[in-house]
Amino acid sequence: MKFPELEINQFMAITHAKVSLADRGLVLIQGQNHADTSADSNGVGKSSIAEALEWCWFGETARGISGDAVINRDAKKDTFVKSTVIDGHMTYTATRHRKHKTGKNTFTLKQFDGFKETELTKGKDALTQLEANKIIGCSLDVFAASIYAGQEKMPDLPAMTDKNLKVIIEEASGASVLEGAYKAASKTLNDSEKVLVTQRAAAQLARNELDFIKNQLVSTTAALAQWETDRGVREADIKASITPLLPVIKKLNADVAAIDKAAIEAAIADCDAKIALVGDENAGLAALDKVLSDTKVYLGAYSNEVVMHNSALTRARTALANVEHQVGCPCTSCGRPLTDKELAAAKADKQSYVDAYEKAITEAEDKYSAQEVAVNDAQRARDDFAASMTDITAVVAQRSVYERQLASYNDLLRSQQNYVNQAKNLRDQLVAVQAETNPHKPSIERLTKQAEVAEKKLTDADAAVIVQEEDVALNAEVVKIYGPAGVRATILDDVTPFLNSQSAKYLTILSDGNIEATWTTLTPDAKGVLKEKFTIDVTNATGGDNYKALSGGEKRKVRIATALALQDLVATRATKPIDLWIGDEIDDALDSSGLERLMQILEEKARERGSVFVISHNELRDHIKQVLLVEKLANKTTKITEMAA
């Protein structure tokens, strides 16, 4: 990834400048302040070049400068920085404005694929910034630490304590980010476990609800079955009452059909015609006969009523005995012996029939006895009148025979109707019992539907628990991964060889391999168990055997080598290679030998990165052939001149 063009306007110390940062090799940046000769080369904007690049792409400089603080203090407006990046076949252009006449405070981003330009600017700068981060492949911290090294950024790493060195290494390697990730993962796990507890409680509540409904369903089903059993008993009782009536009705039907009522009535009419000849006597006798016949009819009716009630009483007593007989007999549904208490209602019902029929018999017998007296009285009155009549005894006797036959017929007919009515009433009762709806059926249907809903609710709750358990397990694994024994340990295991390799590479050049700096992140304790301990052990083959024993110049070389190694580590965190490196006054306090060896390192970096810019107050033109002179003119405008040393 190359930065071919950087345009700066009214940014910090620079009024306006254009600089190419791509494929420049090793370039020296020096400055000259014509507006303030006492400042020498300070304040001209040498460091502002790197600051402008960082501000353009990230809205903030490596030193944390942002907002209106980047505006040139003389111009006070119209600040913008425009930077072009080439990544493969794509060209990206970022332009950031501050108090600009047309650009206002906007951040724009465009893409050009060689054929057409695409606008990448989003509705909000924050969203556009996300696109910019994707293009650069890293955050501002990584970008600044990868491309920029300054004297104030050159910490004395070998002299640091374990705690401070640990912080720097973890931050450089990105392991410090894992601490936040670890905390976030732990919180997520804790939240997930809380959700799991809630979902398990919900599942248990659903299970309890389903169990309650099922228990209700079992008891209601038992009640439904018991009701059906009771109805079966009532049906059986009614059928038992109907059965003995059927043969009686059949016989009565036959008896009625065997009698020729019309013939009897014709014979009576014939007798009446003969008797009518007798005149008034016959009329009087007929009247008495009529009275006698009527009383006899009622007597027969009352007799039939007594017989009928006796027959009904016999059936009622039989039904009562049948119920009493069921005490101790097994239940037809469950086999348990029936108790007297369970049959009490049925017995009371049957006893009511017995009592009613006994009362009806007494009343019928009383009416029969009274009617016998009436018949005897009517008979005497008739006989006395007949004795005083003209003798038509034979005719009258014959008529009496016919009357008795007709009365018997009528008695049969009434008895037949009584039995038919009894059978019809019992049949209607049976139909009504059979048509009854089990009152427990609606409850069964309601509970069944509730059970289906509760079952679905429990199934969903159990499924949610399983999903949440998987989520908790996954989050627990994430916590392990981000924990001290997870990715962090793996990163540190990889970091140590890299730091040692890079430090050795730089020290080989700076000290001819006489000085070694060994980074350590794990150290065995007295028991041989590896513990985290961050140190840089320094040895000198021709001098002191530790860092404190080195000379000032040797310490400077170690500081440069370890700092550059640490910077290389940071650069590995960028997802794209950045073909640019800027060193700001890193040559300070080096002797000529050290300076020459540093130039070897910078030349190697130039070959690796494509462009290396060295900002310095010192005269380095003997070492660096390309020079970028940044001048602040007397009118405080900026002039940049490129020249060969």
Give tens-digit pLDDT for 118-177.
999 999 999 999 999 999 988 888 888 788 887 666 677 888 888 877 777 776 777 666
Residue written as token pair 């009806």:
360
Cα first-last separation, the chain: 28
Per-residue pLDDT tens digits for 481-536: 876 666 666 777 778 888 889 889 888 888 888 889 998 887 777 777 667 788 88
Topology alike, domains 1-137+575-645 and 243-436: no
Q: Residue 489: what pLDDT?
A: 67
Structure tokens belonging to residue 348: 């009371």
Please say if the pLDDT value at position 604 is more than 70. yes
> Using CA atoms, how far apart are residues 120 and 127, in angstroms rounded to an integer?
10
Instruction: Give me the chain's average pLDDT, please.
Output: 88
Residues 244, 224: Cα–Cα separation, whole Å: 32
Average pLDDT over residues 312-337: 85
Short-list 379, 377, 383, 386, CA closest to 275: 386
Q: Which of 438-442, 581-585, 590-594 is modeled with the greatest confidence?
A: 438-442
Q: In what order do the strands lie in the sheet with 611-615?
A: 148-150, 581-584, 611-615, 25-33, 626-632, 638-644
Measured on CA atoms in the order 160, 166, 170, 173, is the torsion positive or negative?
Answer: positive
- One DSSP character per residue, 592-635 reads HHHHHHHHHHHHHHHHHHSEEEEE-SS--TTT--EEEEEEE-TT
83: helix, coil or strand?
strand
Say which residues have a Cβ less than 8 Å from residue 625's Cβ, sequence separation at least 6: 26, 644, 645
For residue 442, the model assigns a pLDDT of 94
Measured CA to CA, the distance from residue 79 to residue 37 in angstroms comes to 26
Q: 3-class SS at 79?
A: strand
* Residue 233 φ then ψ, to 5°: -65, -45
Phi-psi region of 23 (alpha: psi -120 to 50; beta: other; left: phi over 0): left
Backbone phi, then psi, for 8, in 5-degree steps? -125, 135
pLDDT at 153: 66
> Residue 107 carries which DSSP code?
E
Calpha distance 475→192 (Å, rounded): 8
Place of tokens 């370039």: 27
Strand 117-119 versus strand 107-112 pairing type: antiparallel
Write down the pLDDT at residue 39: 63
Closest among 82, 88, 89, 90 to 106, alpha carbons compared: 82
- The amino acid that residue 243 corresponds to is T
CA 60, 61, 67: angle at the middle one, nearest 5?
40
pLDDT on residue 220: 95
Q: Which of 475, 531, 505 is nearest to 597 (CA)?
A: 505
* Rounded alpha-carbon distances, angstroms, from residue 313 to 235, 310, 320, 353, 354: 20, 5, 10, 8, 6
Separation CA 638–CA 13 (nearest Å): 8
Helix (H) or strand (E) holding 250: helix 245-258
pLDDT for 530: 64
In this predicted structure, what is the pLDDT of residue 38?
74
CATH architecture, domain defined by 1-137+575-645: 3-Layer(aba) Sandwich (3.40)
For the packed helices 245-258 and 393-435, what is the interaxial angle rounded to 10 degrees? Answer: 150
Cα–Cα distance measured from residue 573 to residue 150, given in angstroms and rounded to the nearest whole number? 20
The share of the chain scoring above pLDDT 70, in percent, equals 96
How far is residue 436 from each of residues 342, 425, 431, 453, measured CA to CA in Å? 21, 17, 9, 30
Contact in structure between 538 and 530 (CB atoms under 8 Å): no
Tokens read off for 534:
């961050």
Residues 468-478 have a mean pLDDT of: 92
Confidence (pLDDT) at 390: 67
pLDDT of residue 23: 92
- For residue 279, pLDDT over 80 is answered with no
CATH class assigned to 243-436: mainly alpha
Instruction: Look at residue 346 in the predicted model and tell me its pLDDT.
Output: 85
- Token readout for 435 is 């048509």
Supply the pLDDT for residue 175.
67
Percent of the chain residues past pLDDT 90, beyond the cut: 52
**Does the pLDDT value for residue 272 go beyond 70?**
yes
pLDDT at 304 over 80: yes
Could you identify the residue written with the tokens 């001290």?
484
- 3-state secondary structure labels for all residues of 360-418: HHHHHHHHHHHHHHHHHHHHHHHHHHHHCCCCCHHHHHHHHHHHHHHHHHHHHHHHHHH
- Residues 6 or more apart whose CB falls under 8 angstroms from that of 413 comprise 256
Output Rg (C-alpha) for the chain, integer angstroms: 62
Angle CA(43)–CA(45)–CA(51) in degrees, nearest 5? 125
Domain locations along the chain: 1-137+575-645, 158-173+484-571, 243-436
Tens digits of residue pLDDT in 535-568: 889 998 887 778 888 888 888 888 888 888 888 8
Answer for the pair 533, 521: CB distance below 8 angstroms, yes or no: yes
pLDDT for residue 176: 65
Count Cα neighbours of 140 within 13 Å in the Cβ-side half-sphere: 19
What would the mean pLDDT of 406-428 be, rounded to a whole number? 93
Task: Give the tokens for residue 269.
Answer: 């009419």
What are 418-466's pLDDT values in tens digits?
999 999 999 999 999 999 999 999 999 999 999 999 999 999 999 999 9
Query: d(Cα 623, Cα 603) in Å, to the nearest integer?
Result: 10
Sign, Cα dihedral of 542, 546, 552, 554: positive
Cβ neighbours of residue 339 under 8 Å, at least 6 residues apart? 327
